[in-house]
A and B are shown apart, each in its own frame.
Chain A
């Protein structure tokens, strides 16, 4: 399955990565090279095979439902590009 220029733009939008028009063709070539490479999986007989969900079989551990950490708002915001009163600040979303 090869991707066309529109698909490249659609993927870029879904991935939230700005792609300039002049980059589309180059990206299309690269993505198609990778997709052509993985195409060989189509020849594997996977009839009745379960997809892997956990590489090492293990039961997920449970813990008591209680707060183990908290009260570290300053730490959490320390690396934020913009913050106000213990909130992350972003450009206006609602008009």
Chain B
């Protein structure tokens, strides 16, 4: 039998239906690949027994003709999603040993449709980071390397384990979350597709909260079609999340391959930032040419408040984080460090349980929300956020169907190379992705080219609220033109 881990999710789905192989065989191929790839540190928990049991049920259903849409498809799940009976830690010491008694709605939707859980994937602690170096389980190593070099590179973050696992063919797809770029940036660094849907498209119930007004779940996959298939299963109304919209989920897969003739694609001039790598600029230009060749009209647009998005984000997100993370107090779950009294217990528990980046963000958030500073920082940032959203609304009102921009300012960097001088150095990774979260819009990252060093570079498409379909149609045009990018296997 040929290597089943090389299949796309769509091909695996067809192969299972046509009984070319069984769900048990497909699952075993991935479990073996995971075992051989432990040096990547993508999985923080492997669940082979559960995976085999789920695969057996899938095979029974495939045999009896009662297969569901994702029957027998093995997936990985970011350790930020609560999985019933399966340890869930947000890759933080403070949730050491936490075993949820409930399932997140997004993963519940995937299991409802027949998908199989292979295990939990590494991420930056509480999704705070852009390199997956802030995990209590240690950094994830990217399956990609610079040409002629063995330097270990980051897969991006915060969903670094998800991106690395999909790129290294350890699972057919994975779920992640994106608060400021945590799906799109690692997808770009790892040469795969990742989409952050519109805020409210997927339920946040059971996702460990970082910044509630920005967090959204989304899929990682090796093709645009595979990402569309996964989102179709993940999305949908959930009464357990009041911000999750009650709107029908369209067939995202049907939008893959649809013509983009006559569509208007915006190129935002403010994204042409100073010091942008020449090869990123070239790829961006190339992307516009591909879309033009497919019949789209390409126009320059202006999003004047772009340059303030990152600063506003680093007020809003820490503020919400300081509030969300107040629950980790050593009383209800996770780590407890004894103290003189109850307050001392809280302080010690949180000092030992949170890593340095989480401590910093909780403290910044506490400061910007504190008496005397809340208007100068938090309220002002929320006003700037209104202006950022207004920029996009104007652009879409002028008839723009989607916006084309780079996904990241550079290719992946080495482990330990960034963030030593100042935390802000790391934050700059999200300069092209964070605006989308601030405005609640959908954004997809799709591989466009390899850098001169042989590393993947991604293009980003930003769409109207709840118009993920257009993003899938346009992204497929890019995938058709750019081809797909596969790292050479050195890890197993």
Choose among B311, B346, B362, B389 the residue that contacts A52 (Cβ–Cβ < 8 A): B389
Chain B contact surface mostly: helix
Number of A-B contacts defined by CB within 8 Å: 168
Q: Which chain B residues border A12 with CB–CB below 8 Å?
A: 363
Contact with B along A10-41 (1 / 0, CB 8 A): 01111111110000000100110111011111
Task: Judge if A60 is at the interface, Cβ distance under 8 Å.
Answer: yes
- Cβ–Cβ contact B422 & A30, under 8 A: yes
Choose among A30, A40, A44, A72 the residue that contacts B360 (Cβ–Cβ < 8 A): A30
Task: Judge if A56 is at the interface, Cβ distance under 8 Å.
Answer: yes
- Cβ–Cβ contact A93 & B342, under 8 A: yes
Name the CB-closest residue of B to A34.
B364
Most B-side CB within 10 Å, residue of A3, A52, A54: A52
Q: Which chain A residues border B381 with CB–CB below 8 Å?
A: 38, 41
Q: Which chain A residues border B336 with CB–CB below 8 Å?
A: 81-82
Taken together as a complex, chains A and B put the C-alpha atoms of A19 and B384 apart, in Å, by 33
| A18 in contact with B308 given A37-B424, A63-B239 (CB within 8 Å) | no
Q: Which chain B residues border A52 with CB–CB below 8 Å?
A: 382-383, 385-386, 389
- Cβ–Cβ contact A33 & B387, under 8 A: no
| A34 in contact with B423 given A44-B308, A55-B389, A61-B242 (CB within 8 Å) | yes
Task: Judge if B299 is at the interface, Cβ distance under 8 Å.
Answer: no
Contact with A along B341-371 (1 / 0, CB 8 A): 1111111101100100001101110110010
Q: Which chain A residues border B363 with CB–CB below 8 Å?
A: 8, 11-12, 15, 17, 27, 31
Q: Which chain B residues border A13 with CB–CB below 8 Å?
A: 347
Within 8 A of A (CB), among B213-234: 213-214
Name the CB-closest residue of A to B97.
A79
| A33 in contact with B370 given A41-B312, A63-B239 (CB within 8 Å) | no
Task: Judge if A90 is at the interface, Cβ distance under 8 Å.
Answer: yes
Name the CB-closest residue of A to B329.
A16
Interface residue tally for chain B (C-beta within 8 Å): 74
Task: Judge if A65 is at the interface, Cβ distance under 8 Å.
Answer: no
Task: Judge if A85 is at the interface, Cβ distance under 8 Å.
Answer: no
**22 A-B pairs (CB sep. < 8 Å):** A13-B347, A15-B322, A17-B354, A17-B363, A18-B348, A30-B360, A30-B422, A39-B311, A40-B307, A41-B308, A41-B315, A41-B381, A44-B384, A50-B383, A52-B389, A54-B213, A55-B199, A55-B389, A56-B440, A75-B102, A79-B333, A88-B331
Apart from A12-B363, A34-B424, A51-B386, what 16 extra A-B contacts exist at CB < 8 Å? A3-B367, A40-B311, A41-B380, A41-B381, A50-B386, A55-B199, A55-B440, A56-B198, A56-B245, A61-B246, A63-B239, A72-B101, A81-B333, A90-B345, A92-B341, A93-B342
Interface of B with A (CB < 8 Å)? 97-99, 101-102, 198-200, 213-214, 239, 242-243, 245-246, 305, 307-308, 311-312, 314-315, 322, 326, 329-336, 338-339, 341-348, 350-351, 354, 359-360, 362-364, 366-367, 370, 373, 376-377, 379-387, 389, 422-424, 427, 438-440, 465
